[in-house]
Amino acid sequence: MKIDKRQIENLQYKLLCAVVITLPFEILVNSACLILFSVVTVVKILLDPSKHLDSIKANSRLTTILISHFLIYLIVFLFTGLHGGYILEKKVSLLLFPLVFGLGGLTLDSKRKNILLLCFIGSVLLAVLFALRGGVSSLLMNISEEYMRIQRPYFGLYLMFCVLILFYYFSRVKVIYVKIGVAIVAIFFLYFSYLILAKMAFVACGLTLVLCFCFFWLRKIKLKWYSASLSVLIIGSVALIFLQFDVISLLNTIVSLKPIEMTSGNWMYFLSVNARSVIWQCSWDLLTENHNWIFGYGFNYLDVLNSCYLQTWDKYGISTAKGMDPNWFTAGFNPHNQFLQTWLETGLIGFLSLILIVLVSLRSAIRNRDYMFFTFIVMFIISCTTESLLERQKGIVFFAVFNSIFLFNSKRHLGLK
């Protein structure tokens, strides 16, 4: 029986859509889609290996840069125990998608890419509705990964990326009813981001907009009113958060190093501001010990960091309230900065590899005047300064999929004219 290559490619594309759609939901379902996508990709490549070898030769430099990051983790794994194997397993997507697109294993024209982005927006909307299943009051009482099925930093990143995509589409469509619908969904996403206190997502989105404006201005591209309205919405939402939760007073307390008692009512502030100061200090201290900044410490660093946390919390005036478990302070927090974490785990070569990947992506987005790619990579870079985004599947697959799609198809991508 003759296998139709076009049918194989259509199935492969549908499975890629399934990977994107399941990203905000259960990891097991998303992993199953990834496995099926990988199997179909292998079958397609085996049907015409010579064609794909030509593609990898044409994209050899770019593919090598992207997969080198995974290979560095593979080398570190050889000197680490079973825990390292679990980390390596999570990072397989950093190898899979660059190879798929580098080998020419899947061709995405503008229509297919737009459908893929719309699938992602639709899945994030479903995830929002699921989080609101018990109403706003229930959500506010339990803003946790167990309730929403996704951590706030990743949820916030997804939401803000969707907002920027929606306003891009808002500028392109001509039908007024479609424009109104797109604007409503974007505003709804902003409102939900406010509800879950996705503070860093707002900051990342705001800084991305500023850089986009500079990027447009340098090329003498006139700013349109929809860009200004988006800025007003984001600034207004951030202002609401500051007014509602009195963040200014909290920051003043932290700067003056007054004691802060961690309670069930202020743990969001604790995690977002105070803890990172301790976590970054401990991570940096470990990095600078025994030439770890050159060779890395490996994957078994949490015990060392936990010990440092216990000795450092009190320097910032942080204590647990009555009824809170003091052992929560040794919960195994990672460095909460992807660049710092990669440096700590893999050494200088892994750190430089990650820097090279983001610089190559940023350069491609700027050279090709690709608005979507630019907003994606800038938001990713900014978010990585306060979160270790490439340590969970929600962040790894998100980056691997969209970065590979934009990077290998950047010249053909519909950028902002």
How far, CA to CA in Å, does 337 sit from each of 17, 41, 344, 382, 385? 29, 33, 10, 10, 5
Task: Indicate if 226 and 130 belong to the same structural domain.
Answer: yes
Alpha carbon distances (Å) from 19 to 27, 38, 135, 323, 335? 10, 11, 28, 42, 28
Question: 104 is in which domain, residue-wise?
Answer: 5-245+341-412
Predicted pLDDT of residue 264: 46
Tokens of 416: 């902002």
Determine the pLDDT at residue 120. Answer: 97
Give domain status of residue 213, yes or no: yes
Spatial neighbors of 259 by CB under 8 A, at least 6 apart, are: 317, 318, 319
**How many structural domains are present in the chain?**
2
Residue 314 has a CB neighbour count (10 Å cut-off) of: 11
Last residue of a domain, one of 314, 333, 352: 333
Are 210 and 267 part of one and the same domain?
A: no
Task: Say yes or no: 159 and 213 in one domain.
Answer: yes
Helical spans, DSSP H, in 25-144: 27-47, 49-58, 60-77, 82-90, 93-102, 110-131, 136-141
pLDDT in tens, 336-385: 899 999 999 999 999 999 999 999 999 998 888 888 899 999 999 999 99
Task: Give the pLDDT score at 349.
Answer: 94
* Residue 260: strand pairing partners: 318
pLDDT for the residue numbered 30: 92
> What's the pLDDT score for residue 416?
33
Residues 295 and 203 in one domain: no
For residues 301 and 171, membership in a common domain is answered with no
- CB distance 73 to 91 below 8 Å: yes
| 353 and 366 belong to one structural domain | yes
Q: Please identify, among 333, 355, 378, the residue that sits at the C-terminal boundary of a domain.
A: 333
Are 354 and 380 in contact by the 8 Å Cβ rule? The answer is no
Q: What is the pLDDT of residue 173?
A: 86
52: left (phi over 0), alpha (psi -120 to 50) or beta: alpha
CB-count burial class (<10 Å; 0-12, 13-18, 19+) for 294: exposed
Q: Does 370 lie in the same domain as 261?
A: no
Residue 415 has what pLDDT? 37
**113 located within any domain:** yes
Which residue in the block uniquely carries the two structure tokens 């990977």?
A: 19
Residue 415 buriedness (CB in 10 A; 0-12 / 13-18 / 19+): middle
- 232 and 268 in a single domain? The answer is no
Q: Is there a contact between 198 and 383 (Cβ–Cβ < 8 Å)?
A: no
Say if residue 231 is in the same domain as residue 258.
no
Both 182 and 214 in one domain: the answer is yes
Is the residue at 37 inside a domain? yes
Residue 266 located in a structural domain: yes
The dihedral region occupied by 208, where left means phi > 0, alpha psi between -120 and 50, and beta the remainder, is alpha
How do the pLDDT tens digits run along the chain, 417 residues long? 556 778 888 899 999 999 999 999 888 899 999 999 999 988 888 877 777 677 777 778 888 899 999 999 998 888 776 566 778 888 999 999 998 888 877 778 888 999 999 999 999 999 999 888 877 776 766 666 666 778 888 999 999 999 999 988 988 888 899 999 999 999 999 999 888 878 888 888 888 888 887 776 555 444 455 555 555 655 565 565 555 555 555 555 544 545 555 554 455 545 566 677 788 888 999 999 888 999 888 888 888 888 888 777 666 555 555 545 555 556 678 898 999 999 999 999 999 999 999 999 999 988 888 888 999 999 999 999 989 999 999 999 999 999 999 998 765 433 333
The total of other beta-carbon atoms located within 10 Å of residue 376's CB is 23
User: Strand, helix or coil at 4?
Assistant: coil
- pLDDT value of residue 381: 93
Kindly report, residue by residue over 269-328, the tens digit of the pLDDT: 455 666 777 888 889 999 998 889 998 888 888 888 888 887 776 665 555 555 455 555
Indicate the residue among 333, 356, 381 that finishes a domain: 333
Q: What is the DSSP letter of 317?
A: T
pLDDT for the residue 272: 60
Does residue 154 sit within a domain? yes
pLDDT at 135: 77
Residues 134 and 199 in one domain: yes
- 417: in domain: no
pLDDT at 2: 59
Residues 376 and 293 in one domain: no
Residues whose CB falls within 8 Å of the CB of residue 268, separated by 6 or more in sequence, listed in order: 143, 197
Q: Which residues contact 242 (CB under 8 A, 6 or more apart)?
A: 248
